[in-house]
Amino acid sequence: MVGVFSLLRLTYTRTFGVQNRRTSGTKPEGIDWELALTLMRRCGDVGLDRPLLFVVDFPSVMLGAHPACAARLNEMIMTLLRATFLRAPSAVLLCASVFLSAALAAGLARAADFPNPLPADPTLRLEKLPAKYPTGWAFLNYAGDRIELRNVGADSREVKAQLQAHDSATLLVADKRPEIYVADTVWSRGVRGTRTDFITVYDSQTMNVAAEIVLPGTKRALITAMEGLFAFTDDQRMALVFNFTPAASVTVVDLVKRQPVGEIDIPGCSLVYPSGTRGFSTLCSSGTLLNVKLDANGQVAGRSESKQFNPLDTDPLFTASAMLNGVRYFPSLHGRLQPIDMKTDEVKVLPDWSLVSPEEKAAHWRPSGWQILASDEKSLIYVLMQPGAEEGTHKNPATEVWVFNPATKARVKRLRLVRPGSSIALTHGPEALLLVQAGERLDVYDPQGGSLVRSMDLPGLHTRMQMETFH
């Protein structure tokens, strides 16, 4: 309040002060200054000897003034502002007018006018999350901004927790230990300076930092939040971090001992997918699959490479996948589904099959999006699909979700989306939900009938989203 009227005093002084000194008291017309002083003394008992101070003491007058006095004083203040407009810069007048309006509203409002005041805001409090998250919750990775734990299974839509995230941050949620792991990268000067790659270990109930594991070499791949950058292996005892400098390698981290245990070169290959008892597979630029077995210390115990099966020049595979019963399914750009059996150390590439009929292929129906497929507990696979696709549209939002039974290699359902979506995920349990990231909204569908259950804002989302649900 003091700043408001100081500004008005400054406005008047700059406009009229110099002229007052030069022209022996020139004042704006329309203001009865003797009446103003009389009103001020009567209404607020203020002793003033200069009209200039009238504006400064205006709040003390108005807060206790009689309504008639207030009305007359308000009239004179508006006259002052009109006079100022003729001599002061318009920007000064604008500031003075805005602040004056706020001051008048605050000064004339009395407690008697509000017999039922608003209740006090609730005090924020910290609560402990359950040891096992409900199946209606999901982690939403904003890809470099933050990671939210959101209740997507109820209309309350609460944000249950939020984790700090930076460049290409990716997370793993353990069910063997009460911990969450976030692989992240920061620079000492914001976007420059010394780079540090690290894994933050969070307590899954309090979200307190339990530990930090610094990754050597500043090699972690900085792409965006996506599958294949960060993965568990060895029954969640170890983690795999994909590196790209552009030389490709994998850093093996012992999560129990909180330390890196080695680095494995994978030249010409990209991303990591857990396979076997303790190992991983990676897609290679030769169209093959490289499989690496690890020993108990995280060192290489064996390597094998598949025959060429990924036609990179004609119909390459997406790097997004879905897992069902130990078999990982990769869609291709033109609509094939490629299963790979990764249950054992002997990884097997299985025969592929088409997601589209000849008629649908002619209409250019193809998979499209970012996190483009998901699986449910009924052993079904959900795939984002778009019509009229062409070269370069494979990351565009899709208009439908097609549901397939891999056992019969047949489509069992088509779900039309209210808004085109880029990423999908499925919650688990008896009342499963289909989550679709559609621009800056998260649409929640009933996967049985395809109806939209609810839709929620994703404030601050600037890119595609990666989602993680719980069993």
| 103 φ, ψ (degrees, to nearest 5) | -70, -40
pLDDT tens readout for residues 378-404: 999 999 999 999 999 999 999 999 999
Q: What band does 74 get if pLDDT is binned at 50, 70 and 90?
A: low
**pTM reported for the whole predicted model:** 0.75
pLDDT value at 102 more than 70: no
pLDDT value at 116 more than 90: no
Sign of torsion, CA 200 425 252 332?
Answer: negative
pLDDT tens readout for residues 421-430: 999 999 998 8
| 306 φ, ψ (degrees, to nearest 5) | -75, 170
pLDDT at site 91? 41
H/E run at residue 336: strand 336-341
DSSP track, 222-272: -S-S-TTSEEEETTTTEEEEEEESSSEEEEEEETTTTEEEEEEE-TTEEEE
Count of alpha carbons within 13 Å of 308, Cβ hemisphere only? 7
Residue 196: which residues within 8 A CB-CB, separation 6 or more?
Answer: 185, 186, 187, 188, 214, 218
| 204 φ, ψ (degrees, to nearest 5) | -70, -15
Is 382:373 a contact under the CB 8 Å cutoff? yes
Q: What band does 88 get if pLDDT is binned at 50, 70 and 90?
A: very low
H/E run at residue 10: helix 2-12
Q: What band does 119 get if pLDDT is binned at 50, 70 and 90?
A: confident
The domains of the chain are located at: 2-113, 166-308, 318-471
Place of tokens 């595609």: 464
CATH class of 318-471: mainly beta
DSSP track, 66-99: -HHHHHHHHHHHHHHHHHHHTTS-HHHHHHHHHH
Fold identical between 166-308 and 318-471?
yes
pLDDT tens readout for residues 142-160: 987 799 999 999 999 899 9
CATH class of 166-308: mainly beta
pLDDT at site 198? 97
Alpha-carbon distances of 185 from 6, 63, 93, 200, 393, rounded to whole Å: 48, 55, 49, 10, 30
Residues β-bridged to residue 201: 181, 211
Residue predicted with more confidence, 82 or 135:
135
Is 399:386 a contact under the CB 8 Å cutoff? yes
pLDDT at site 461? 86
Question: Which DSSP letter does residue 371 get?
Answer: B
Q: What are the start-end ranges of the E strands in 122-235?
A: 137-141, 146-151, 159-164, 170-173, 179-187, 195-203, 209-215, 230-233
pLDDT at site 310? 98
pLDDT tens readout for residues 290-346: 999 999 999 999 999 999 999 999 999 999 999 999 999 999 999 999 999 999 999
Average pLDDT value for residue range 337-356: 97
Least Cα distance to 197 among 212, 214, 182, 209 occurs for 214
Which of 21-25, 273-277, 424-428 shows the lowest per-residue confidence on average (mean pLDDT)? 21-25
